[in-house]
Amino acid sequence: MYPRPFDYLVPSTKEEALDILAERGDEVKILAGGQSLIPMMKLRFASPATLVDINRLPNLNAIEIQNGHVRIQALARHADVVRSEVVKAENAAIASAAPWIADPLVRNLGTLCGSVAHHDPEGDWASVMLAVGAEVVAESRERSVQSHPGSDAQHVGGTRVIPIEDFLVDMFATALHPTELLTEVRIPRYARGGGDYQKLERKIGDYATVGVATHLELDDAGVITRAGIALTSVYYRNLKVPEAEAVLVGNAPSEGLFAEAAQIAKAACDPTDDVRGSAAYKRDIVRVFVERGLANSLAKAQG
């Protein structure tokens, strides 16, 4: 099927893009890699009146360290994340997940930020971002608005920094306003840590049957100071498991502790029976992947 007709705008600066969003808001969809949006438009699940193609915006594809964070900007492609020396050196969970996203063609076009903005519950990046404690940066045009004639003007817009748990509101729904552009995700740096992404897929390039992101940080004595566990494709949305993280923090890592966290994650998820496997099978894969992911994260943190 062909998409419905739409206006196609190609701003050449971020300011121009924000102006279009401020003016047209609700009727606009931003086009980044197009790897989720274009199929949705062809199936007519999405029929935006206006597409704003952000691919020509300058200075929006960096993956770099800034103010204690790794920042991944809106036009950094999945393939850039795979290749990034900053990611390899700085965040083991992201480095582990990147080659698992789709196939090489999709990785060359699709973006990590687009995946987070799309919030498909089968998307891998949202789980990884939940595990590593990312923040999302959203920008909109600063302007004064009056709620009704004669009322005091209110100042709206500017830059918002949103913790990923607050950003991911529901499946295919985020905290982003229609006038906002997601400009980057920020991931806190760590002194001593490691992470991992385990993914079961039917064939290369497929979405996850089960995906598990894990992240551990250790102090000098080897005690766990931060833990992240998040699951893909086994709940109606990407699922962070704070109860499993809580049993890890403050303790020395051990196989027994990891097994306990894995059982909690297994109980927290709620997969469905489908062609990829039964719910019981997927639950047990979650258990196995959490144990394995935590062991791999620890090995990377130790060395």
Ligand X SMILES: Cc1cc2nc3c(=O)[nH]c(=O)nc-3n(C[C@H](O)[C@H](O)[C@H](O)COP(=O)(O)OP(=O)(O)OC[C@H]3O[C@@H](n4cnc5c(N)ncnc54)[C@H](O)[C@@H]3O)c2cc1C
Task: Give the full edge-to-edge strand order of the sheet including 28-31.
Answer: 7-9, 50-53, 28-31
Q: Is residue 106 involved in binding ligand X (CB under 6 A)?
A: yes
**By Cβ distance, which residue is nearest to ligand X?**
110
Among residues 165, 136, 141, the alpha carbon closest in space to that of 72 is found at 136
Candidates 28-36, 140-148, 243-251, 262-270: pick the segment binding ligand X (CB under 6 A): 28-36
Out of 17, 18, 20, 36, which residue is the one contacting ligand X (CB under 6 A)? 36
- Looking at the Cβ atoms of 207 and 235, the one nearer to ligand X is 207
- Looking at the Cβ atoms of 201 and 260, the one nearer to ligand X is 201
- Tell me how far apart the 2 most distant CA atoms of the chain are, in Å: 66
Q: Is residue 41 involved in binding ligand X (CB under 6 A)?
A: no
Helix and strand element counts for the chain (H, E): 12, 14
Among residues 107, 101, 71, 68, the alpha carbon closest in space to that of 86 is found at 71
- Looking at the Cβ atoms of 82 and 264, the one nearer to ligand X is 82
- Return the CA Rg of the chain: 20
User: x/- contact string, 49-78, with ligand X (CB under 6 A)?
Assistant: -------------------------x----
Q: Is residue 268 involved in binding ligand X (CB under 6 A)?
A: no
Least distance from C-beta 274 to ligand X, angstroms? 16
Q: For residue 266, what are its two tokens?
A: 């297994």
The DSSP line for 178-224 is TT-EEEEEEEE--SSEEEEEEEE-SSTTPPPSEEEEEEEEE-TTS-E
113 vs 82: CA distance, rounded Å = 14
Residues 107-146 that bind ligand X (CB under 6 A): 110-111, 113-115, 117-118, 120, 123-125
Binding footprint of ligand X, residue count (CB under 6 A): 30
3-state secondary structure of 153: strand
**Which residues contribute to the site for ligand X (CB under 6 A)?**
29-37, 39, 74, 101-102, 106, 110-111, 113-115, 117-118, 120, 123-125, 176, 181-182, 205, 207
